[in-house]
Amino acid sequence: MIERFVRAARRACWLAVFCALPAIGADADFFKLFPASPVIANLPYSGQASYTQVYTPSGSTWAAGLNETEVFFASLKHRENADNSWETRIGKGGQLYSIRGLFGESQAPQAQPDAHWIDQIFQLVGVNRTLNLSTPGHAYFIHQAGDYLDDPVLKSTFYSPMLASTFDTGASAAYALSWGQQARIPNVNHAGLLYYERVKDLGSGVIEVTYVVYNFGPDTIDYHDTPWGGVRKSVLPVTLASNPDGSYKTVGALWGDGTYLNLKDTGGWIAWTQSAGEPSSPTLALVIGKDTVPMPAYQSAPARFAYGTAATVDDFEVVEVTPFVTQEPGTAYFFRVYLVSGILNNVQSLANSLASSAGKGPVTFTEDIADLEPIYTQIAANGQTILTTAPHRSQAPAFFTYAEPIANSLPLFVLKSAATGALRLSTNPCELCTTAPLGSDTIYKPYDGTVQYVGFLGYVLPAQYQFSKAPIYQSMLNLVADRTYFPASSVNQTLQVLAGRVNITSANVAGGGSGIAQNTWIEIRGTQLAPASAAAGLTWSSAPDFAAGKMPKQLGGVSVTVNGKPAYMYYVSPGQVNVLTPLDTTLGPVNIQLTSGANTSAPFTATMEAVAPSFFLFGGTNYVAATHATGALVGPASMSVPGYAFSPAQPNETIVIYGNGCGLPANQLVQGSATQSGTLAAAPSILIGGAPATVVFAGIESPGLCQFNVMVPSSAPDGDNAVAATFGRSSTPVGALIAVQH
């Protein structure tokens, strides 16, 4: 019987299970690399978060001559009550340049004439201490925020180029990705750090700030500020340092005299308030966490924070958090801190509870687990053939990059010449920069306006670092033919990208169920599930196994296991594979793996149920696959096509409905046999139009195909009637229909 429906499906595509093919997905999320936020006990979310990239005046007062629109990129607000409401503003480099709470504006007024929102704000900084001292006048400080106004060519601040950003409404989290800049310019040192940032509203005045730093440059970064920052001294004049027991003490120092505290000698936080003796005093705390004991191998010294008051004119109380992480080229690390805004006694309590959740550590993605970013070709306005992460209509990807940085991978930038408008694809963000010789060194000027940073396309891998067992890599140079866009340089000739990866994204019962069961047809969806030669889809009709009375375990070089046992192949294509699960009484989580040629997917976990019932549906509709006693198809007459006539069922008529995942018959089945039949040990209850239908027969008619001979209730009204089958606690998915006509 199933073969007859399959033949119809090939011509008219009525059966969704055999015809539905997946569409190309949306862009991969560049911000999946963040570690999951810790669950904070006794911190239920309340209030409301809002995010915007539309500037409105903050109400803050800045130094004379400054216009906040120069720096503004986005605003994240929390509205709850007077104590716990706040707003933080994210600058164009990703820096937190404004934090307003019960105390007003906490960030310094930016009195330094050469440092507009790039120094006296919260930001990341990366340093190579050896190179910092090796060339006088070329200090090595890679700022998240941007450059000082050191070079006369700059008339306004150059903020670190923002490469990507998004806001997750469900998590109340703002994300930003920027290319950090050597702060002191001009400079002979490379700027090889990408700074990721997640600013997340946790409610109750708590802001989680998580950073990820990826080092794509040639230099070891042996000193980080995570973060550098501070507060406006005139607004929050008293500095509090926590004690290991959770209490605090008032501290003070002048910035530059070397005063610091090791984290192990504190409670893991520092705070600033208006009055240390007043429990309701407006307060802002920075929760850094307690140092790891023993220190991990990547940490060279005890983590600490330094503090002190800057020059009076700056109105700035400094804090510098230094974890002493040694970051080699090609590696990534995360750093998590919390900001807490509110009244002193509440801030103290929250800071103590958050200290164990702050921290740091490596971020590691390998080639087999990193997300893939689909890349598409496009013709630019100037006629260049370029690449983009945005598909045009149903366009297929040209190739895939990595969405997260894997070890030694290189970011792929899209650069634009300000003079010609020509676009350039490069792993070197300074490829189009103005340069100048300095002895044996070269000065690069990414800030002088000759180049614009207009795109980020994920990460690619130089050939010498690719995993030797991954044969689906391709030379990027061979795939990008426009040499004005992607020159045939020696570096470009080594870059490898992916044709894709064998990856399962879902596995469900055919017909719409959410779980799986033994001896059940399931749909496996994903990427690179079959070779390109199977692009049009292959079915089991010509499999030689049938000559021996067996179902095929392999089709077109593709095979599947469920709980370690071979499944039986019906249909394979690059995006969808349909299989019959093996006989297996296991219940609970099981692994599904697919092998295509020499490549095997990572295990995909599904839940094996005793039954996982569903009805087969005529493709593209909600009408169940059913026939009259004559074999004619049941459904609205409007579904008829030449050679396949449909007509509605009648009340009191016995019709045949076909389903899936209904369990085993009372008689024993043979694993892998091409023939199956038998009466179910327990028949389901079936409702049509809400009324019980008489189940005359319920059994297995062929491999995995359930047959229900059902009498349509006399009360069934004309038109579409909902139909549902229930086996104990399990029911078919809602929405299935059958057409009835008196």
| pLDDT band at residue 24 using 50, 70 and 90 as cut-offs | very low
- The residue out of 334, 362, 390 marking a domain boundary is 362
Which pLDDT score, from 0 to 100, does residue 9 have? 29
Q: What is the dihedral of CA 614, 616, 621, 624, to 10 degrees?
A: -90
Instruction: Let me know whether 221 and 88 are in one domain.
Output: yes
Residues 424, 305 within the same domain:
no
Q: What is the mean pLDDT of residues 396-401?
A: 86
pLDDT, tens digit (0-9, with 9 covering 90-100), for 314-333:
999 999 999 999 999 999 99
Q: In the predicted model, what is the mean pLDDT of residues 453-474?
A: 81
Coil, strand or helix at 473: strand
Q: Are 529 and 573 in contact (CB under 8 A)?
A: yes
pLDDT value of position 1 = 31
Tell me: the pLDDT tens digits for 351-393? 999 999 999 999 999 887 888 888 989 998 889 999 998 877 6
Mean pLDDT (whole number) for 600-610: 90
**Averaged pLDDT, 32-42:** 91
Q: Are the CB atoms for 506 and 607 separated by under 8 Å? A: no
* Residue from 534, 524, 527 nearest 555 by CA: 534
Same domain, 354 and 376: no
The mean-pLDDT minimum among 81-85, 407-411, 533-537 falls in 533-537
For residue 702, pLDDT beyond 80: yes
Q: What is the mean pLDDT of the chain?
A: 91
Question: Do residues 428 and 306 both lie within one domain?
Answer: no
Q: Is pLDDT above 60 for 494? A: yes
| Structural domain boundaries, residue 438 | 372-498
- The reported pLDDT for the residue numbered 513 is 67
Q: How many domains does the chain have?
A: 3
pLDDT higher than 80, residue 499: no
pLDDT one-digit tens code per residue, 86-145: 999 999 999 999 999 999 999 999 999 999 999 999 999 999 999 998 888 899 999 999
Summarised one tens digit per residue, pLDDT across range 270-315 is 999 999 999 999 999 999 999 988 999 999 999 999 999 999 999 9
Average pLDDT over residues 688-692: 97
- Picking from 362, 389, 406, the residue at the C-terminal end of a domain is 362
- 542 confidence band (pLDDT: 50, 70, 90): low
655 near 629, Cβ under 8 Å? Answer: yes
Within this chain, do residues 403 and 330 fall inside the same structural domain, yes or no? no
**Alpha-carbon gap, residue 649 to 203, rounded angstroms:** 57
Closest alpha carbon to 143 in 181, 117, 195: 181
**Whole-number pLDDT of residue 282:** 98
Residue 501 reports pLDDT greater than 80: no
Backbone region of residue 532 per phi and psi (left: phi > 0; alpha: psi in -120 to 50; beta: other values):
alpha
pLDDT at 16 over 80: no
One domain, residues 199 and 338: yes
**Helix boundaries (H) for 577-616:** none
Which of 64-81 are b and which e, b meaning 16 or more Cβ less than 10 Å from the residue's Cβ?
eeeebeebbbbbbbbebe
pLDDT of residue 32: 92
SS3 of the chain: helix, strand, coil, percent, to 5: 10, 45, 50
Q: Is residue 404 part of a domain?
A: yes
More confident: 28 or 664: 664
Q: Is a pLDDT exceeding 80 seen at residue 541?
A: no
- pLDDT at 2 > cutoff 60: no
Local confidence band at 731 (pLDDT 50, 70, 90 cut-offs): very high
Q: Does residue 344 sit within a domain?
A: yes
pTM tops 0.85: no
For the chain, the first-to-last Cα distance in angstroms comes to: 27
Q: Say yes or no: 340 and 450 in one domain.
A: no
Does residue 205 sit in the same domain as residue 116? yes
Same domain, 207 and 274: yes
Q: Taking 70 as the threshold, does the pLDDT of residue 17 lie above it?
A: no
343 and 417 together in one domain: no
Whether cis (ω within 30° of 0) applies to the bond prior to 294 is yes
Highest average pLDDT, of 121-130, 163-172, 619-628, comes from: 121-130
Q: Is the pLDDT reported for residue 532 higher than 80?
A: no
Residue 468 has a pLDDT of 52
Question: Do residues 355 and 290 touch, judged by C-beta distance below 8 A?
Answer: yes
3-state secondary structure 81-150: CCCCCEEEEEECCCCEEEEEECCEECCCCCCCCCCCCCCCCEEEEEECHHHHHHCCCCCCCEECCECCCC
Q: What's the rounded Cα separation, in Å, for the pair 558 and 202?
A: 46
Q: How many Cα neighbours within 13 Å face the side chain of 80?
A: 21
Do 689 and 721 contact (CB within 8 A), yes or no? yes
Say if residue 678 is in the same domain as residue 722: yes
- Looking at the DSSP assignment, which residues form a beta bridge with residue 373? 401
Residue 653 covered by a domain = yes
**Is 90 exceeded by the pLDDT of residue 227?**
yes
> Whole-angstrom Cα distance, residue 732 to residue 516?
12
561 assigned to some structural domain: no
Assigned domain for 24 exists:
no
**pLDDT band with cut points at 50, 70 and 90 for residue 439:** confident
What pLDDT is attached to residue 23? 22
Cα–Cα distance between 520 and 508 in angstroms, integer?
Answer: 10
Query: Would residue 601 count as lying in a domain?
Result: no
pLDDT of 21 strictly over 70: no
Q: Is residue 576 part of a domain?
A: no
Predicted confidence at residue 505, as pLDDT, reads: 85
Structure tokens at 661: 């995942």
What Cα–Cα distance (Å) separates residue 668 from each residue in 199, 391, 444, 549, 659? Answer: 58, 51, 76, 17, 20
* Residue 535: predicted pLDDT: 67
User: Which of 95, 79, 69, 55 has the alpha carbon at shortest distance from 197?
Assistant: 95
Q: Which pair of tokens denotes residue 731?
A: 């029911």
Residue 3 has pLDDT above 70, yes or no: no
* Residue 243 included in any domain: yes
Stretch among 208-212, 398-402, 596-600, 692-696 having the lowest mean pLDDT:
596-600
Distance separating alpha carbons of residues 723 and 710, to the nearest angstrom: 11
Which CATH number does the domain housing residue 116 bear?
Answer: 2.70.98
Express as a percent the part of the chain with pLDDT over 70.
94
Q: Does position 11 have pLDDT exceeding 80, yes or no?
A: no
Residues 344 and 433 in one domain: no
Of the candidates 683, 624, 685, the residue with the CA atom closest to the CA atom of residue 656: 624
CB 624 within 8 A of CB 656: no
Looking at residue 538, its pLDDT comes to 75
Surface-to-core class of residue 478, CB atoms within 10 Å of its CB (0-12 exposed, 13-18 middle, 19+ buried) = exposed
Going from the C-alpha of 32 to that of each of 212, 370, 717, the distances in angstroms are 11, 9, 51
Is 249 in contact with 241 (CB distance < 8 Å)?
Answer: yes
Q: Among 362, 383, 402, where does a domain finish?
A: 362
DSSP 8-class letter at 58? -
